[in-house]
Amino acid sequence: MSFLQDLSFFSMGMWSIGAGALGAAALALLLANTDVFLSKSQKATLEYLEDIDLKTLGKEPRTFKAKELWEKNGAVIMAVRRPGCFLCREEAADLSSLKPKLDELGVPLYAVVKEQIRTEVQDFQPYFKGEIFLDEKKKFYGPQRRKMMFMGFIRLGVWYNFFRARNGGFSGNLEGEGFILGGVFVVGSGKQGILLEHREKEFGDKVNPVSVLEAARKIQPQTLAMETK
């Protein structure tokens, strides 16, 4: 009888441990799909962006200050998380679909990458219809650099983004660093300021193209801005 009691207590104990582990896993999954553990973003200032060093990707690289990109006509700038990522390629294609309207407004479209690996940037170019520059110090991914690690793979929003991009026909590879989150900026000409700042909160968190276009329409070319003073 004592043996049966011990066996019963043992079974109940194992069941309790199993239920507790299952409950802990469910709680972890629930919390992972909230914003509780997401890296907090810090908004960039115009002065911060202006002082960033960028490098051209041609045969004779030239280093220049980022403010050259928007000084005269403003700019739309994508900070690419990883050129080989199919989610980044999807967002690049979305932004590139705005290119005709941006051209009408006289607003250029640019992208920055944080590394140049083999043909990754070249392979990204078909998806992105603007010039691409290298941000070696990863400043466009700051001021407070944010990362999403493996928690991203248990977020329902990320899986939704995966399926959306795959269904859209996008594919990619695993080359390069892909945990530092990117974003999109719309910057006005001269000292007009940052008109839109989208920070990627999870893999595949795209900017709204409508919001990009609305912000771009607010840009005053430098000559016009000077005339209205």
Judgement on whether residues 67 and 118 belong to the same structural domain of the protein: yes
Rounded Cα–Cα distance for residues 80 and 62 (Å): 20
Judgement on whether residues 152 and 64 belong to the same structural domain of the protein: yes
Judgement on whether residues 55 and 144 belong to the same structural domain of the protein: yes
pLDDT tens digits for range 173-210: 999 999 999 999 999 999 999 999 999 988 999 999 99
DSSP string covering the chain: -HHHHHHHHHHHHHHHHHHHHHHHHHHHHHHHTSSTTSPPP-PPPHHHHHT-EEE--SSS--EEEGGGGTTTT-EEEEE-S-TT-HHHHHHHHHHHTTHHHHHHHT--EEEEES---TTHHHHHGGG--SEEEE-TT-GGGTTTT-B--GGGGG-HHHHHHHHHHHHTT------S---B--EEEEE-STT--EEEEEE--STT----HHHHHHHHTT---HHHHHHT-
| Residue tagged active-site, from 85, 109, 134, 219 | 85
* Low-confidence stretches of the chain (pLDDT beneath 70): 1-39, 223-229
Rounded Cα–Cα distance for residues 227 and 229 (Å): 6
> Which pLDDT does position 3 carry in this prediction?
47
Cα three-residue angle 51-111-163, rounded to 5 degrees: 135
Judgement on whether residues 3 and 81 belong to the same structural domain of the protein: no
Q: pTM for this structure?
A: 0.82
> Which pLDDT does position 123 carry in this prediction?
96
Judgement on whether residues 216 and 188 belong to the same structural domain of the protein: yes
Whether 90 sits among the annotated catalytic residues: the reply is no
> Which pLDDT does position 39 carry in this prediction?
65
Judgement on whether residues 16 and 53 belong to the same structural domain of the protein: no
CA torsion through residues 42, 88, 92, 32, sign: negative
**Residue 100: inside a domain, yes or no?**
yes
- Own/partner pairs for 92-97, CB < 8 Å, 24+ apart? 92/124, 92/127, 92/128, 93/127, 93/128, 93/170, 94/206, 94/207, 94/209, 95/128, 95/130, 95/184, 95/207, 95/209, 95/212, 96/127, 96/128, 96/129, 96/130, 97/209
| Residue tagged active-site, from 54, 78, 80, 88 | 88
Give the total number of structural domains in the chain: 2
> Which pLDDT does position 7 carry in this prediction?
43
Judgement on whether residues 171 and 64 belong to the same structural domain of the protein: yes
Judgement on whether residues 141 and 218 belong to the same structural domain of the protein: yes
Whether 2 sits among the annotated catalytic residues: the reply is no
Structural domain of 8: 1-33
Judgement on whether residues 220 and 115 belong to the same structural domain of the protein: yes
Q: Is 197 left (phi over 0), alpha (psi -120 to 50) or beta?
A: beta
